Amino acid sequence: MTTPASSASGRKRTTRTDVARLAGVSTATVSYVLNGDANRVSPETARRVLDAAEKLDYRPSIIARALKTGKTGMLGIVVPDITNPYFGELVEQLERGATEYGHSLVVNLSHGLADIERTRVEELSDRNVDAIFLSPAQNDAELGALTRQGKHIVILDHTSPIGDMKCVSTDFYQASYDIAAHLLGHGRRRAAMLFGDEAALSDQRVMGWTQAHRDLGLPAGPVYQSDFTREGAYQITVNLLTRPAQERPDAIFAASDLEALGALRAIHEAGLRVPEDIALISFDGTAETLYTWPQLTTMQQDTMQIARCAIDAALRPDTTPDVQLVPAKLIIRRSCGCR
């Protein structure tokens, strides 16, 4: 039978008492050294403690640390889809940032479903993670309920404040405005936007797209729901390209790299050329855009800066604003018509 201090394999887990015994010091001295307060002991003593901890393969108990400090050293994140290259790159940057602060990152998926997302948030809360990053499937009212439950959550990809939660996002409005202006600057007058969710007028990406047209005295290009997927964008584009030449779009803004890939396939299959017949710009700027033909002009989200802002909001909330908007950068390649 294993004791509470034993591992699953039956081997007794090393404690601070074991380290203190081998180093010939008190357990308080071990605590000073291992908690980063080694200036309270001599360098020689600190070295003996560290050597003893290494020889015994000492690993501090997360539970014990949490009881003492109120912190577990764990952060959680819930994203809709880890196969989306944008979320993959964002999670990687968050994991790197968490490591710099001595934290680990626990990754969960919601599959874009609000019920699953709520369950994952509860599970992470039950594990007493120090903060949760959430790219939400829930609406604002549902998210507001989380703040009333006292959960420490940082909302990603959301540009307006929600309750007491911090929000970190790309500046979607400006990014979409700049994309529309760029396409219109090429003389395109039948531009269409492929957007993942229902194209609510309040979405910042749709608002930026619409305002850029208005500022040039043009009717806003239509917005089509394509579910942030290759398949959705492919099918929408196939349908658009069955129209007579004078009615089909001469430019497409795909609101994600995945949607751009689907649209690009449909354009090629229709025997049309990018950018000569249809200009194409994607949003996200992941590595996928480097390996298409032609290479995609893309509005690149700064995942490194988003992660830094999110980590600060999670671990140093008193020093960060409620909403942080990170600028995106238009990466010019060939698919928009630039040379």
Q: What is the pLDDT along the chain (339 residues), one digit of tens a residue?
A: 334 444 444 556 788 888 899 999 998 888 777 766 667 788 888 888 888 888 888 776 555 554 455 567 899 999 999 999 999 999 999 999 999 888 899 999 999 999 999 999 999 988 889 999 999 999 888 888 877 666 789 999 999 888 889 999 999 999 999 999 999 999 999 999 999 877 566 789 999 999 999 999 999 999 999 989 999 999 999 999 999 999 999 999 999 999 999 999 999 999 999 999 999 999 999 999 999 999 999 999 999 999 999 999 999 999 999 999 999 999 999 999 998
Which backbone phi and psi does 83 adopt, to 5 degrees?
-80, -15
**CATH number of the domain that residue 272 is part of:** 3.40.50.2300
Structural domain includes residue 7: no
Q: Are residues 39 and 52 in the same domain?
A: yes
Would you call the peptide bond into 294 cis, given omega within 30 degrees of 0 as the criterion?
A: yes
Q: Are residues 130 and 28 in the same domain?
A: no
Q: Are residues 46 and 107 in the same domain?
A: no
∠ CA 184-190-192, nearest 5°, is 90
The pair of structure tokens assigned to 83 is 């196969």
Q: Are residues 270 and 287 in the same domain?
A: yes
Structural domain includes residue 37: yes
Helix (H, G, I), strand (E, B) or coil at 54: helix
Enumerate residues 6+ apart whose C-beta is below 8 A from 275.
Answer: 294, 334, 335, 336, 337
Helix (H, G, I), strand (E, B) or coil at 168: strand
| Per-residue pLDDT at 1 | 39
Q: Are residues 123 and 218 in the same domain?
A: no
CA-closest candidate to residue 96, choices 272, 303, 334, 255 = 303
| Per-residue pLDDT at 299 | 98
Q: Are residues 289 and 319 in the same domain?
A: no
What's the domain range around 141? 73-170+304-325
Beta strands in the chain (DSSP E): 74-79, 104-109, 131-134, 153-156, 166-170, 191-195, 223-225, 251-254, 279-284, 297-300, 323-326, 329-331
**pTM for the full predicted model:** 0.80
Q: Are residues 93 and 137 in the same domain?
A: yes
Q: Give the count of domains, the chain.
A: 3
Would you call the peptide bond into 275 cis, given omega within 30 degrees of 0 as the criterion?
A: yes
> Distance of CA 79 to CAs 114, 135, 325, Å?
11, 5, 19
The pair of structure tokens assigned to 263 is 């649209």
Structural domain includes residue 334: no
Structural domain includes residue 276: yes
Enumerate residues 6+ apart whose C-beta is below 8 A from 52.
Answer: 19, 20, 22, 23, 58
